[in-house]
Amino acid sequence: MGRRLALTLAYLAYLLATAIGTERQKHHVQHGPCSYTFILPEVENCHPLKDFQVTNTLQRDSPPEDQPDTGQHKQGKAQKDRPSWQEKKLESLESAMENNTQWLQKLENFIQENVRSGMEEMKRTAVHTQTAAMLEMGTNLLSQSAEQTRKLTDVETQVLNQTSRLEIQLLEYSLFTNRLEKHILLQTQEISRLGDKNNFLEQRLLALEARYGKELQGLQSEKQQLQELLEKQSRLVSQLQGELGSSTHNSSVLQRQQAALTDTVQQLLAMVSNCNEISNTPKKETLHFKDCAAILRSGVTESGIYSIRLHNSTQTVKVFCDMKTRGGGWTVLQHRRNGSVDFHRGWRDYKMGFGEPHGEHWLGNDIIHKLTSSQEYSLHVQLKDRDGNEAYSHYDLFYINSEHRNYSLHAEGFSGTAGRTSSLTHTSTPFSTKDRDNDRCTCKCAQLASGGWWFEACGPSNLNGMYYPSSSNVVRYNGIKWYYWKGPNLMATMTTMMVRPASF
């Protein structure tokens, strides 16, 4: 470097010298901010060679022998005073050269230093600026990335928020769905249960409809019958009213006739006693049989009509005695056979009795009371249905109270074939007729069921009901009834109620 610089400088000096000519001795060289002044030796007589060569080292001017060399200016003088002057000059030149060389070296060093420092400075500044720029860019990037990161985190949190919200909603929905499913399940079960119930109810409804349809038909036909009956009865009532008028008129006539009759009877009795006295036979006892059992014990074994004298009474009563059934001795209280006698009667008829002992009849509550309260009696109820099947109900103890207690019934010790349970109410049920309602029903059983009986409300039996000659499927509330034998619709062709001493 230094060598090349020196070379350059030397060349520059030569160029200057050739340009300005030989007149100038001082030469200025401007290099950047530095200016250099070169003082060159005089070269007036020197002729530069065509082939000017610069060597690396400064060379001593050689004496001009064959050809003129670089130091031509010295050449001229060397011809005058060669040994001393030339040597001195050479020496000074050499030192100057040396100094110059040193200086140049210094300069070179300086320049090198400068250049290096400048370069370094430049480099450093460049690096600084670049670093700063890079740093700025970096910081920019960093801030940008931070911003991005922040935005990303924001977005992330939003997304997370959204996701969690959605999850919560989903959870809620699933819970809701579960609840709904459960609800639906319950509803379905409920519906099926209701459906079952509905089916059951429908079936029941159908059954009830069918049943009530039948009953309705029965009731309608019964209503018709009742209406007919009512008409008949109202006709009867008007007829009876008419008869009442005439009978009140006739009663005085009757009383007179009765008086006449009693007279005749007394005459007859007197005649009879006369006859008894005459015949002197103990026939008197036959008049004192108190019931059919007593008659049977007296030796009579034929069923038929006999007279009995009630206990503590002079009253004689004609009764039908059944001497065949279960050993005989039965005093008949009630008998139905063919519906020839109307049993739908009032209190008084039942009190006094009606019908004929050889046919259908009711013996009379007063007589029954007197008979059954004189000693312990058992009751036998004989029944026969349309097809001729017979059955019976038996009560070990039977009696009815007096009229003051409305002929209330007592029946104990049930047995028999006409039902496993007693169809007779054996509590102290009073007697009711269509005109004396003593039952425990808000209705009037005697009117509803017809006849006189110990109706409760209205109870499972009524042997004094309407006599229906033929059976039908129609339920009749007013027919002859012995519930526990044939249900509510027994069509008996024969009923008999009869008593016999319990001790028989």
Ligand X SMILES: *[C@@H]1O[C@H](CO)[C@@H](O)[C@H](O)[C@H]1NC(C)=O
Binders of ligand X in range 287-326 (CB under 6 A)? 312
CB of 125 to ligand X, least distance (A): 38
Binders of ligand X in range 414-453 (CB under 6 A)? 430, 436, 438
Which of 218, 339 has the CB closer to ligand X?
339
Interatomic CA distance for residues 327 and 325, integer angstroms = 6
Options 48, 213, 359, 487; binder of ligand X; rule CB under 6 A: 359
Closest residue to bound ligand X by CB = 312
- Count residues binding ligand X (CB under 6 A): 20
DSSP 85-147: HHHHHHHHHHHHHHHHHHHHHHHHHHHHHHHHHHHHHHHHHHHHHHHHHHHHHHHHHHHHHHH
CB of 243 to ligand X, least distance (A): 5
CB of 437 to ligand X, least distance (A): 7
Closest CA to 425 of 443, 404, 440, 442: 440
Which window, 57-65, 321-329, 334-342, 493-501, contacts ligand X (CB under 6 A)? Answer: 334-342
Binders of ligand X in range 77-116 (CB under 6 A)? 92, 95-96, 99
Q: Is 290 helix (H, G, I), strand (E, B) or coil?
A: coil
Which of 96, 236 has the CB closer to ligand X?
96
Closest CA to 377 of 351, 412, 402: 412
CB of 194 to ligand X, least distance (A): 46
> Under the criterion CB under 6 A, does residue 338 sit at the interface with ligand X?
yes
CB of 37 to ligand X, least distance (A): 15
Options 181, 196, 202, 243; binder of ligand X; rule CB under 6 A: 243
499 sits in which H/E element: strand 492-501
> Under the criterion CB under 6 A, does residue 340 sit at the interface with ligand X?
yes
3-class secondary structure per residue, 134-173: HHHHHHHHHHHHHHHHHHHHHHHHHHHHHHHHHHHHHHHH
Closest CA to 394 of 373, 420, 425, 416: 416
- Determine whether 39 is exposed, middle or buried from the number of CB atoms within 10 Å of its CB (0-12, 13-18, 19+): exposed
Q: What is the CA angle 274-280-283, rounded to 5?
A: 90
Does residue 295 contact residue 287 with C-beta atoms inside 8 Å? no
Which of 169, 421 has the CB closer to ligand X?
169
CB of 191 to ligand X, least distance (A): 42
Does residue 286 contact residue 300 with C-beta atoms inside 8 Å? no
> Under the criterion CB under 6 A, does residue 246 sit at the interface with ligand X?
yes
CB of 458 to ligand X, least distance (A): 16
Which of 95, 145 has the CB closer to ligand X?
95
Residues within the interface to ligand X (CB under 6 A): 92, 95-96, 99, 161, 164, 243, 246-247, 250, 312, 337-338, 340, 359, 405-406, 430, 436, 438
